[in-house]
Amino acid sequence: MSKNSQIFVVKTSPKTVLNDYEKLMHLANYQKSFDKKCKIILKLNLSWSKFFPSCSSPPWQVEGVLKT
């Protein structure tokens, strides 16, 4: 694994947020990190009774990742 970090920033809006997550994932070359032959499990943190931005994924983030 490379020790070089990359940061990508994309200006977004409510109308484009799902497409923007797709764009970010492709910029980060996410496909290199996963074997296409293996299934991926996305674990949601549902143990909280309230939304906490520091430890909860907003619905548009989860949807953007799943659609990509």
Q: What tokens does 35 get?
A: 């074997």
How confident is the model over 2-51, as pLDDT tens digits?
678 889 999 999 999 999 999 999 999 988 888 889 998 887 776 667 77
> What pLDDT does residue 67 have?
92
Q: How far is CA 2 from CA 30, 56, 62, in A?
A: 14, 28, 26
What distance lies between CA 64 and its chain's CA centroid? 7
> What pLDDT does residue 58 have?
82
Q: Is the pLDDT of residue 52 over 80?
A: no
